[in-house]
Amino acid sequence: MLRTGGIVLGGSLLSGSATADDGDGTTLTLLSYNDIQTAAAEDEDFPRLVTLIEERRASADGPVVVVGGGDQVGPHALSPISQWRAPVDVLNEVGPDADVIGNHEFDYGFDAISDVTADSEFPWLATNLVTDDGEAFDGTESTQVVDRGGVRVGIIGLADEGATTGKTNIDFEAEGVTIEDFTETGPAEARRLREQEDVDVVVALAHTGVPDAEALAEADADDDIDVIVAGDDELRYPPETTSGSIVSEAEARANYLSEIELTVEGGEVTSWDGELIEVTDDIAKDPTASQIINDYRAEVSLDSVIAETETPLDATFSSNYHRETNYGNLITDAMRERTDADVAITNAGGIRSDAVYGPGEITGGDVFNTLPFPNTIVTLELTGAELVETLASQIVTLESETGQDFGEEVSQQVSGVRFEWVPHDDAEQLVRDVRVGGEALEADATYEVAVNNFIADGGSGYPLEDKPMIEDTDELLATSVVEYLRERDTIAPTVEGRMQRVDRDLPDAAVTVDGNGKVVEQFDTPDDVESVTGNTAAVWSPDGEHVDAEHVVFDEDDETLVVRADDGALAETVEDAEDGDEVPLDLYVEYESSEFDHVYFERSRLNADLAATVRRRGRSRACGAPGSH
């Protein structure tokens, strides 16, 4: 247990260092990593991490324990051929003392866990995932006790429901496994290790994310857990003391190694020092690890160039969870073309690597790195009402717990459908103004919707598990995207306004579009508008074309907003409309709000629905504010 006495803990935010103990205790070094995932398929940071671990082992002033925080064996680009074997083969070279079962250890199914553990030369822990007799399930262990340099270290492995039922399609109850409350099982097992196993240090491997790791520390009333190695939310979280326990997370993808030096004296931790060490290109690659990875890569020619992109492809987590991305559009366009569906949807969590590719050459390995799961494309039949429910199931509101941590999220990417999402608990509809193929959605009509088989089975909370299946391609999603790119040779995907965030509404308005002059419209603004960012104002057509506003004026005293746009440019966005047609347009503009305190987005967003009457003959005045045209 961490005895602070007069010692000041958590000295610097960067290192989380504590004042070193001046006594004669043993210095135990704890090295940890987590969420290797896509790095397992690349001859880059993973082999460098192996070297760094060996270097820190060799330079340590005392015994060393190496542990993992889960999500090591997936997802990665080599999954289709090696499944868990590539990362496990490399980790066997590292020789960790223990790792914890995370949600991605279940990527290959529940039964495959015993194969993962059988191929591993180290134990996998699942302390709070127990069978009916209270034991760890097949292939896993409840705890691990390591005796190093006279210091006994007890290790437990914990996962929360978010990293089990929340992120897998495993029916744990049907498998005879109970997910115990980690905040109860963790402290109880730590106490048992101290009393019955006579350990000096307790380390909890918590595949829960940092907030839940901190909750674990708070629940550990007797301070029996000295260190909590977190995983799952992939944060860069240097060692820091919380409620008597040291919490650390080394981001993900072999980007960092967490190093914590514990001074152990008289059966307890008396002081500590720690930091995250970045894995840089200056660190040499471990040759054995590189050979393992490259041998697997050679089997599927992951280094072959398949296309060239003129725009950077955004596969970052933050972008794909929060908003439409050009890479999300490319993926879902490929899905819709492959299946000839009306709509395609993929979950943001299925797009991995957290990187940007291009401009330049794109390899097959790049695609498999971003789509590493063994998912196929499934076409379902949904009514319009079911499609709206499906899209709304992924909206994270700003006021929710997740929204307060990470900001409001749309959490998906789409093709063939356009909609507005209103990320607030008081919204009448989280998803509204839905259009499929440019036409307003009909609630009772049926639509063919292409998704990956993970979400077709109800993964990521999608309400799709009982919906009629039209087709399963039995082809990997990544393979479909590769073929889509090969057929095009050169691509330049853009963001097209498929998913529009809206915080507040302006009044509806009517305008006439005839291609001459200007269109000017004045609106009364909501009470929370403090200022408007004029260069964000744009008018969008149902087909995804948009025109930036020429001039925007907000009057704070009168609470009015005046927007002017070029009529000729607007006419080009509705060029297929006939004379006399009424076309729905949307105005969007960002603003500073006195009510909403955003976490991810810089500003709130206003929307006004514009009913535009098209005039193709002669000049006519817009039905807007005086002085239109």
Pair 127, 185: CB distance under 8 Å: yes
Q: Strand, coil or helix: what is 194?
A: helix
Q: Which among 116, 137, 122 has a CA at the least distance from the CA of 74?
A: 116
Q: Is the pLDDT of residue 358 over 50?
A: yes
CB 432 within 8 A of CB 418: no
pLDDT of residue 619: 43
Helices 45-59 & 287-300, crossing angle to 10 degrees?
160
Q: 452, 471, 491 — which closes off a domain?
A: 491
Higher-pLDDT residue of 379, 4:
379
Please report whether residue 144 resides in a domain. yes
User: Do the Cβ atoms of 336 and 481 come closer than 8 Å?
Assistant: no
Which band of pLDDT confidence, cut at 50, 70 and 90, is reported for residue 617? low
The CATH number that applies at residue 520 is 2.60.40
112/42 same-domain check: yes
Whether the per-residue pLDDT at 32 is higher than 90: the answer is yes
**Does residue 90 belong to any structural domain of this protein?**
yes
- Across the beta sheet with 560-566, what order do the strands follow? 518-524, 560-566, 551-555
pLDDT score of 298? 84
Domain boundary among 243, 259, 292: 292
Q: Report the candidate in 522, 538, 534, 525 with the shortest Cα–Cα distance to residue 595.
A: 525
pLDDT of residue 261: 98
The whole-angstrom separation of Cα 318 and Cα 612 is 35
- Ramachandran region, residue 334 (left: φ > 0; alpha: ψ -120 to 50; beta: rest): alpha
Please tell me whether residues 57 and 91 are part of one structural domain: yes
b/e map 10-21, b = 16+ CB within 10 Å: beeeebbbbeeb
Residue 16 resides in a domain: no
DSSP 268: E
Say what the pLDDT of residue 457 is.
94
C-alpha distance from residue 474 to each of 172, 382, 471, 502 (Å): 26, 20, 9, 38
Strand pairing partners for 327?
A: none
- Rounded to whole angstroms, the Cα distance separating 182 from 429 reads 35
Q: Is residue 21 part of a domain?
A: no
Higher pLDDT, 12 or 275: 275
C-alpha span between 74 and 86 (Å, rounded): 10
pLDDT classification of 19: cutoffs 50, 70, 90: very low
Model confidence over 525-568: pLDDT tens digits? 999 999 999 999 999 998 889 999 999 999 999 999 999 999 88
pLDDT, average across residues 593-612? 96
Domain match, 45 and 109 both: yes
Q: Assess if residue 395 is contained within a domain.
A: yes
- What CATH number did the domain enclosing 344 receive? 3.90.780.10
**Whose CA is closest to 199, among 123, 141, 264, 247?**
264
Q: In which band, very low, low, confident or very high, does the pLDDT at 361 lie, cut at 50, 70 and 90?
A: very high
Instruction: Please state the φ and ψ torsions of residue 236, each to the nearest 5 degrees.
Output: -85, 100
Burial group, residue 348, by CB count within 10 angstroms (0-12, 13-18, 19+):
buried
Does residue 623 surpass a pLDDT of 50? no
Which distant-in-sequence residues (6+ apart) come within 8 Å of 164 by Cβ?
103, 106, 129, 170, 172, 179
Residues 263 and 369 in one domain: no
What is the distance between the alpha carbons of residues 621 and 613, in angstroms, rounded to a whole number?
Answer: 11
With respect to residue 4, please indicate whether it lies within any of the assigned structural domains: no
In this structure, the answer to whether residues 233 and 102 fall within a common structural domain is yes
Residues 394 and 527 in one domain: no
Task: Identify residue 160 by its one-letter amino acid code.
Answer: D
Directed axis angle between helix 326-339 and helix 477-488, to 10°? Answer: 100
Report the C-alpha gap between 464 and 451 in whole angstroms: 10
Domain boundary among 458, 491, 524: 491
**Rounded average pLDDT over 210-235:** 97
Q: What is the DSSP string of 28-41?
A: EEEEEE---GGGGG
Q: Per-residue pLDDT averaged across 371-385, rounded?
A: 95
| Top-confidence residue, 622 or 410 | 410
Does one domain contain both 282 and 334? no
Residues 447 and 523 in one domain: no
The pTM is what? 0.75
Query: Does residue 81 lie within any of the structural domains?
Result: yes
Residue range 148-175: mean pLDDT, rounded: 93
29 to each of 58, 68, 222, 273, how far by Cα in Å? 11, 14, 23, 10
Exposure on the CB side of residue 86, measured as CA atoms within 13 A? 30
Count how many domains the chain has.
3
Q: Is residue 387 within 8 Å of 442, Cβ to Cβ?
A: no
Q: Do 484 and 523 belong together in one domain?
A: no
Residue 15 pLDDT class (50, 70, 90 cuts): very low
pLDDT at 17 exceeding the cut of 80? no
What DSSP character marks residue 98? B
Does one domain contain both 529 and 423? no
| 284 and 318 assigned to the same domain | no
User: Which residue spans within 318-392 are E strands per DSSP?
Assistant: 343-347, 356-357, 360-363, 376-383
Q: Are residues 270 and 359 in the same domain?
A: no
Residue 355 belongs to domain spanning: 301-491
Residue 272, phi then psi, degrees to nearest 5? -155, 165
Is residue 625 a part of any domain in this protein? no
Mean pLDDT over 114-133 rounds to 96
Q: What is the structure's pLDDT at 111?
A: 94
Contact partners, residue 8, CB within 8 Å, separation at least 6 = 18, 19
406-457, pLDDT tens digit by residue? Answer: 999 999 999 999 999 999 999 999 999 999 998 999 999 999 999 999 999 9
Averaged confidence pLDDT in the chain: 92
Confidence of residue 13 (pLDDT cuts 50, 70, 90): very low
Q: With a cut of 80, say whether residue 24 has pLDDT above it.
A: no
Residue 184: CATH number of its domain = 3.60.21.10
The answer on pLDDT for 11 being more than 70 is no
| Residue of 453, 454, 351 whose CA lies nearest to 410 | 351
Tokens 């009470």, residue?
527
Indicate the pLDDT class of residue 23, thresholds 50, 70 and 90: low
If you count DSSP H runs as helices and E runs as strands, how many of each does the chain have, helices first?
15, 37
Q: How far is CA 113 from CA 70, 72, 90, 119, 420, in A?
A: 13, 13, 18, 10, 41
| pLDDT above 70 (res 7) | no
